[in-house]
Structure 1
Amino acid sequence: MLRKFNITIDGKEYLVEMEEIGGVVPSNSALSHVVSAPVTETNEKVEVTPEPVSTTISKAGNDAMTSPMPGTILKILVNDGDEVKENQPLLILEAMKMENEVVATTNGKVSGIHVALGQVVNAGDALITID
């Protein structure tokens, strides 16, 4: 059954036909009240300057171990100058609510730690350099 309604929007009156599909809106509902809000126009220009994005520039070379995935550094298990063996855990990276061990890919000496506790890293970011 089609029902016709007169609706006034911004001072213009519209005739609207709608099909009733069920339910009755009580006459004391918010839909039966005219609501108006003051609109203030201004020609004032607002200048928005975005904040610069902070980036960490690592001095790691191409031989640095990189993050396999985005995540947060939870623990650093080695210090600069430590001797490490292949497959030795170096740090714990939290990603997707899981703790992942990042292990040494080779035997050697830690010559650089390029991250800090709590730091958020992206996949491919330099983590640790082993010489």
Structure 2
Amino acid sequence: MTNHRNRSSYLLRVACAAAASVGAASLADAGCPKARSQNSDVATTITFVNQSGEYRGIYWKDFSGGDKSYGGLNPGESKTINTFLTHPWEITNGPGDCLQVVFPRRGGSTVRLTAPRKRERRPPHGE
């Protein structure tokens, strides 16, 4: 018997496991998914290093999916935060738009915040 809530919880656990296996990994780029902290069982750390050349905001996604600000980073700054394995972190730009959601990994992880990639414009076929 699978319902929507169990499936959502399962998908988030899969995303956590996948992120943990490759370090702190992005769940999505622009248009971030809904995420929330699952438990506080496995302690770890996450370090954010701002290499984007722009301000970045850092938000912990709490147990109800709400945003809790952990401040921000100016270009060149870094910050290490004590957290737990299943706690998602949202990264925003200056205006507060979500750029990505990341999860920490066992033993600690480092997230290098870079400028979003610009999409290459391709001419229509035949030009």
Higher relative strand content: 1
With the length of structure 2 as denominator, give the TM-score of the two structures: 0.26
